[in-house]
Amino acid sequence: MREGVVVGLANHTVLLARDGTEVPIADSGAPIRDQAGNLTGVVLAFRDQTEERLTQRLIQTRLSLIEYAANHSLEALLTRALDEVGAFVDSPIGFYDVVEPDQKTVFLQQWSTRTLEEFCRADGRGAHYGLDQAGVWVDCVRERGPVVHNDYASLPHKKGLPEGHAEVVRELVVPVMRNDQVGAILGVGNKPAEYTQKDVEIVSLLADVTWEIVERKRADEAFHTLSARHEAILTEIPDVVMVVDAGKVYTWANPAGYEFFGDDVIGREAEHYFEGEQETYGAVQPLFNGDTQTFYVESWQRRRDGQSRLLAWWCRALRDAEGRVVGAISTGRDITERNRAKEALRQSEEKFRAIFDHMAAACCLDEVVYRNGLPVDCRILDINPSYERILGIGKVQAVGALASELYELGEAPFLEVYAKVAETGEPAQFESYFAPIDKHLHVTVSCPAKGRFSTVFSDITDSKRAEEERTRLQAQLAHQQRLESLGTMGGGVAHEINNPDGESGHIAVRFFIEKDSEGRT
């Protein structure tokens, strides 16, 4: 009116309605003039901004909760969300429950600040209970939609409240629906006036917003937990872990990687550390061309101390959100000593096989066959050529066969000795006549592994027979010598008889009769 121009008034104006309701309005004023141009009054225009300001407030609340979630725990976020919902619908009580996937169990996750501080001493957070045990507030799960109880006390199916629980006058409970299932329940209570359809819409919207932010928070926490776990693993494992970009330049290394290549490895191309001519790049190029497999390659690399070391690499492509290959991650293990040991073992096995195949003595590797914990047979695992020559049994026939069947004895020969060696590890040796081949054998038994035994046996048939022949000839010679002694003694006796020299003229003679091994006197 002072300026005589149209003026837009501040948009935070609140109009008090006849029933006492506060209505947010946008207003403006325009001057009224008479024909002479004199100011005679003002026209005021009011526009109800309830919906507009509510929408702005809801948007601001959503942004505020998202920002709050970034730096606070899930529990603190839920408390903040319940406090905001309670402020919107003037409700001092607020709670948030999660419904399990079975749609039969719920657990209380959080109360609002005012609920715990002013009304309820029965915390119960984290408690699980079945829907059939819960109160009327879970009607929203059964009905799969918002439930309003403006006169809680008159409800015929209420189950009562636990000790320490806030007295409920009225309540509004809404389900959060996802994929045709109830994911959570958000409830408010004890508004001074009855809950309206508008309250239902506001709480439903904020419940949905809260769910989305909570799920994002859970995903972020899960991601951070997983990232921390991966970082811990990559930090602690002794293997080298390296990341290269599409140009094969190192962009990341774990502590073992820095320890191997040096602190200046980042920014250097991988081939900078190659030792000698290599086909490593060619072997892993399919990764950079889009192959999804894990590639294995062995490569000689220069360690930070200048030594050449053989690394075994497992390489896999890294992709961006659009699926494009942006590099590769590789895990390397120093196998230099293992490779040397492998080569030494190979040479040792070659030497052993040469000895095994060319030794004059027969050699056989067996395992003991058990039944009910007792040794019952032996299975032949390997034989050498001398085994075939001495026993006359071919390798194809012998390997894999049971000794009891191979030698056609009905039982494994010398099983007691072999089983004892295989169980105790104590070697043994013995000589025995082996009837299936009509030969005498000298056998040495040792234990290369638990439950197994190796036998080295020589054919001593000729020496055994020569020894028997020598024993027989020695017996014959001794017999012949005894006969000659008897002949000499007989001649002496005859002389004495013919030429007696004593007074009595009597001579006593004792004769010995002996028989040789063939019964001859």
pLDDT of residue 7: 66
**Contact call for residues 429 and 441 (beta carbons, < 8 A):** no
Q: Report helix angle 74-88 to 197-236, nearest 10.
A: 170
Q: Where are the domains of the chain?
A: 7-48, 54-222, 238-339, 360-459
**Contact call for residues 58 and 81 (beta carbons, < 8 A):** no
pLDDT tops 50 at residue 504: no
**Contact call for residues 311 and 302 (beta carbons, < 8 A):** no
Confidence band of 492 (pLDDT split at 50, 70, 90): low
d(CA 155, CA 133): 16
Q: Residue 176 burial by CB count (10 A; 0-12/13-18/19+): exposed, middle or buried? A: buried
The tens digit of pLDDT for each residue in 422-441 reads 999 999 999 888 888 888 88
pLDDT tops 80 at residue 497: no
pLDDT tops 80 at residue 521: no
d(CA 262, CA 256): 10
Count other C-beta atoms under 10 Å from residue 368's C-beta: 22
Q: Residue 456 forms beta bridges with which residues?
A: 363, 444
- Find the mean pLDDT for residues 504-520: 52
Q: Residue 232 burial by CB count (10 A; 0-12/13-18/19+): exposed, middle or buried? A: exposed
If one compares 460 and 172, the residue with the highest pLDDT of the two is 172
User: What rounded mean pLDDT belongs to the chain?
Assistant: 85
**Contact call for residues 166 and 119 (beta carbons, < 8 A):** yes
The tens digit of pLDDT for each residue in 347-360 reads 888 888 888 888 88
Task: Give, in degrees to the nearest 5, the angle at Cα 502 between 501 and 507.
Answer: 90
pLDDT tops 60 at residue 344: yes
447: three-class secondary structure by DSSP: coil
The tens digit of pLDDT for each residue in 10-59 reads 566 787 878 777 778 777 778 888 888 788 888 877 777 777 888 888 89
- Backbone phi, psi, residue 50, to 5°: -55, -55
CATH of domain 54-222: 3.30.450.40
**Contact call for residues 169 and 161 (beta carbons, < 8 A):** no
> Can you give the pTM of this predicted structure?
0.50
> Right CATH number for 238-339 from 3.30.450.20, 2.60.40.10, 3.40.718.10, 3.40.50.11890?
3.30.450.20
Residue 73 carries which side chain, given as an amino acid letter? S
d(CA 102, CA 45): 56
pLDDT of residue 161: 62
Listed residue (186, 191, 182, 183) closest to 206, CA to CA: 186
Confidence band of 81 (pLDDT split at 50, 70, 90): very high
E strand residue ranges, 88-127:
93-99, 105-111
Residue 483 carries which side chain, given as an amino acid letter? L
The tens digit of pLDDT for each residue in 261-303 reads 999 999 999 999 999 888 999 999 999 999 999 999 999 999 9
pLDDT over 90 for what percent of the chain?
Answer: 45
d(CA 420, CA 428): 9
Q: Residue 490 forms beta bridges with which residues?
A: none
pLDDT tops 90 at residue 375: yes
Q: Residue 299 burial by CB count (10 A; 0-12/13-18/19+): exposed, middle or buried? A: buried
pLDDT over 70 for what percent of the chain?
Answer: 87
Length of the chain: 521
Q: Could you tell me how far CA 353 lies from the centroid of its own chain?
A: 39
CA pseudo-torsion sign 392, 396, 399, 402 = negative
Confidence band of 126 (pLDDT split at 50, 70, 90): low
Query: Residue with structure tokens 């909760």?
Result: 65
The tens digit of pLDDT for each residue in 193-235 reads 999 999 999 999 999 999 999 889 888 888 888 888 888 888 8
Identical fold between 238-339 and 360-459: yes
pLDDT of residue 469: 77
Query: Which CATH class name applies to 360-459?
Result: alpha beta
pLDDT tops 50 at residue 518: yes
Whole-Å CA distances, 374 to 143, 416, 424, 451: 69, 11, 14, 12
Whole-Å CA distances, 356 to 353, 364, 387, 452: 5, 10, 10, 17
The tens digit of pLDDT for each residue in 431-476 reads 888 888 888 889 999 999 999 999 998 888 877 777 777 888 888 8
pLDDT of residue 41: 83
pLDDT of residue 86: 94
If one compares 502 and 80, the residue with the highest pLDDT of the two is 80
